[in-house]
Structure 1
Amino acid sequence: MGALLDVELRLHAELGRARMPLTGTVDLAEGTIVDLDRAPEDPVDVYVNGRRFGSARLIVVDGEWALRLESIDADWGSQVPLARADH
């Protein structure tokens, strides 16, 4: 079991989404502002290995961006064999 706990998983946070036509993406340049579908104070979605894990708030810790988990999806542990209910 110890070796399984050393397996690295990919975690990413989604700040928001935007839809635009292909022509709009071709014209994107450095400094372009893209409006997202969320407000700055909204929670972000957290994904582990491409699957939604829960939600979090963006915070700054020692000058670095970090996430404070606010909720973990109820079905996360039931669908991930590495998760244990007693931890």
Structure 2
Amino acid sequence: MTAKRGEAVDHLRRLASQLEAHSFQVHLRSSHGPDPRLHVVNPMAPTMTEDVLATHDEDGEWWFWLSWAGRIGQAEDVATAAERVASVLHVIRR
């Protein structure tokens, strides 16, 4: 595993811990494809899923991204990133 890939996995693990604390199901996929990703599932609505990636910009700053290229926050601010993932996977009950 390259240093950059290892750092991405570390950031995703921190995000996974934060999301698990909010009752989301998470699965780190680090051996599939070129980039590690965190698969997140809303257990109250299992069809509500999202993949999150961690990548760095040209300045070396790490960011979390949704799979559809939506940047959700800096990797150092795990709480805010987790809130944004939760808002994407939120289900409104009627």
- Asked if these proteins are the same fold (TM beyond 0.5), I'd say no
TM-score, structure 2 normalization: 0.33
Report which of the two has the higher share of strand. Answer: 1
TM-score, structure 1 normalization: 0.34
Quick check: which has more Rg, 1 or 2? 1
